[in-house]
A and B are shown apart, each in its own frame.
Chain A
């Protein structure tokens, strides 16, 4: 069953001279319940803009996003957005525990939110770090805090905006494994935006390929790799290499023009 539906999403931004600039043109696709969908496209193609419209953080100029059959106008309770810039999305004056409590404190109160935060921190491997401040942690650990915060809201849909692009290669592998674990355990639906072909193939069930601006949907690629995935073995499978060859080629052509 489709959980997130994007239908005819078009986005224009006002420009100072002349008519508004159309950055996205009638993008339509759906993400099934429990599916891991990656959105792949050249940089500057508006992947994040699309994700923000799905999250209700930005209204589309025309078309609509639906979550669980309901039209998105404003952030829906069942979806949480994970930001690329963890240094800007975490509150620097709050320790790690209170940054995670952020997700639910306005609903269940500070005290219970803190208790919930400890549970989530343990899940992302940060048990015992509750009293640290974000600036005392490495980039990878800060993004774990951001993931714990998103999980604390107990969302059905996780919308991730290049969440691993700002950390080093090894940390990225760790975080990818973490997100796959969480996705499997909690039966989440995930839409993850990335410009990293291998990341998209490694994580996703299907990949939505976008074009350059004005952005349209180029195609949807079925990954078809067995699960559970292994950070080394999966990347050596013939199907993985074939997909990488194919998608990287397409991405490069689109990027070059």
Chain B
């Protein structure tokens, strides 16, 4: 079982290894300018230094905290808004124009105006991330709520369920697969906005460091931080898939 999964990974890892080897040779033979692209082995050494010295911990934690806080706030608002809009027609009529106006704006473009109002501190960064997270979660929640089976809702009615109990124990779990799909999209956006907000605010976290290293011509460090960011993205995605599978454990496994 394990050996088979390792075997299925092998071709992909081989391609990755070949690219790194090719890059190494390209730099050694002078094909690629060393100033722009240090050899992978040199980057690996720099990365090792960052890891061994523990220097990576504070910036990584700073970015993670930003992503988690923004993601949590944006998701909570998105779920609450989607539930309210999906369930109460009056709320839908009230908020739909606003949502449709805000939704297509790339949230990255909102960071500069947000800086005007909120400065360059944590509030601005968290708000940027939360705004990016909010809309995909809200729209998916809305769709999930509206798709709740009529028969299921009638079953709750004939047993005398009230609105609050129905929303909490029927509509929310019924919409959960949709909500989680929206949150998965939002997680990627959260990371993008976190890095961008850090870059524009010029302080704290992995995004700031990548830009700062590039400006200081510390190219190896830049790549090393980039790799740490990539691993963070990978880990967050893996963590989310795990949580999603746990939340939807009741679904019959089709494969």
Give the interface segment out of B73-81, B138-146, B147-155, B186-194. B147-155
Q: Which of B47-97 contact A (CB under 8 A)?
A: none
Which residues of chain A are near B173, meaning CB under 8 Å? 91, 93
Contact A83–B160 (Cβ < 8 Å): no
Which residues of chain A are near B170, meaning CB under 8 Å? 91
Partner of B157, one of A57, A94, A107: A57
Which residues of chain A are near B149, meaning CB under 8 Å? 88
Contact A75–B152 (Cβ < 8 Å): no
Q: Mark A122-138, 1 if CB is under 8 A from B, else 0.
A: 00000000000101000
Q: Mark B146-179, 1 if CB is under 8 A from A, else 0.
A: 0001011011111111100100011001101000
A30 at interface, CB cutoff 8 A: no
B250 at interface, CB cutoff 8 A: yes
Contact A83–B154 (Cβ < 8 Å): yes
Which residues of chain B are near A77, meaning CB under 8 Å? 160
B106 at interface, CB cutoff 8 A: no
Partner of B160, one of A75, A91, A133: A75
B11 at interface, CB cutoff 8 A: no
A89 at interface, CB cutoff 8 A: yes
Q: Decide: A80 near B159, CB < 8 A? Known: A89-B151, A106-B165, A135-B252.
A: yes
What is the size category of the interface that chain A forms with chain B? 20 to 34
Partner of B152, one of A89, A95, A104: A89
Contact B250–A88 (Cβ < 8 Å): no
Partner of B154, one of A57, A79, A133: A57
Contact B155–A89 (Cβ < 8 Å): yes
Q: Decide: A55 near B158, CB < 8 A? Known: A91-B170, A93-B250.
A: yes
A153 at interface, CB cutoff 8 A: yes
Which residues of chain A are near B151, meaning CB under 8 Å? 83, 85, 88-89
CB distance from A189 to the nearest CB of B (A): 15
A36 at interface, CB cutoff 8 A: no
Which residues of chain B are near A107, meaning CB under 8 Å? 160
Q: How far is the CA of A53 from the CA of B152 in the complex (A)?
A: 17
Q: Decide: A102 near B250, CB < 8 A? Known: A83-B151, A85-B151, A89-B152.
A: no
A175 at interface, CB cutoff 8 A: no
Q: Which of A157-172 contact B (CB under 8 A)?
A: none
A148 at interface, CB cutoff 8 A: no
Chain A residue nearest to B252 in the complex (CB): A135
Chain B residue nearest to A106 in the complex (CB): B165
Q: How far is the CA of A80 from the CA of B162 in the complex (A)?
A: 15
Which residues of chain B are near A147, meaning CB under 8 Å? none
Contact A92–B250 (Cβ < 8 Å): yes
Chain A residue nearest to B161 in the complex (CB): A106
Q: How far is the CA of A133 from the CA of B249 in the complex (A)?
A: 11
Q: How far is the CA of A92 from the CA of B248 in the complex (A)?
A: 10
Q: Which of A102-116 contact B (CB under 8 A)?
A: 102-107
Contact A91–B152 (Cβ < 8 Å): yes
CB distance from B144 to the nearest CB of A (A): 13
Q: How far is the CA of A149 from the CA of B155 in the complex (A)?
A: 10
Partner of A57, one of B158, B169, B252: B158
CB distance from A224 to the nearest CB of B (A): 32
Partner of A102, one of B159, B248, B251: B159
CB distance from A65 to the nearest CB of B (A): 14
Q: How far is the CA of A57 from the CA of B150 in the complex (A)?
A: 11
Contact A83–B250 (Cβ < 8 Å): no
Q: How far is the CA of A77 from the CA of B170 in the complex (A)?
A: 20
A81 at interface, CB cutoff 8 A: yes
Chain B residue nearest to A95 in the complex (CB): B250
Chain B residue nearest to A107 in the complex (CB): B160
Q: How far is the CA of A105 from the CA of B170 in the complex (A)?
A: 13
Q: How far is the CA of A21 from the CA of B122 in the complex (A)?
A: 60
Which residues of chain B are near A103, meaning CB under 8 Å? 159
**Which one of B157, B158, B173, B251 has the highest number of Cβ atoms from chain A below 10 Å of its Cβ?**
B158
> B residues within 8 Å of A by Cβ?
149, 151-152, 154-162, 165, 169-170, 173-174, 176, 248, 250-252
26 CB contacts below 8 A, A to B, read A57-B154, A75-B157, A75-B160, A77-B160, A80-B158, A81-B155, A81-B158, A83-B151, A85-B151, A88-B151, A88-B152, A91-B170, A92-B250, A92-B251, A93-B248, A102-B155, A102-B156, A102-B159, A103-B159, A106-B159, A106-B162, A107-B160, A133-B250, A135-B252, A153-B159, A153-B160
A-B CB proximity, top 6 nearest = A88-B151, A81-B158, A93-B250, A89-B155, A106-B165, A75-B158
Q: Identify 18 new A-B residue pairs, CB closer than 8 A, beyond the known A79-B158, A88-B151.
A: A57-B158, A75-B159, A80-B159, A81-B154, A81-B158, A83-B151, A83-B155, A85-B151, A88-B149, A89-B152, A91-B152, A92-B250, A93-B250, A102-B156, A133-B250, A133-B252, A135-B252, A153-B160
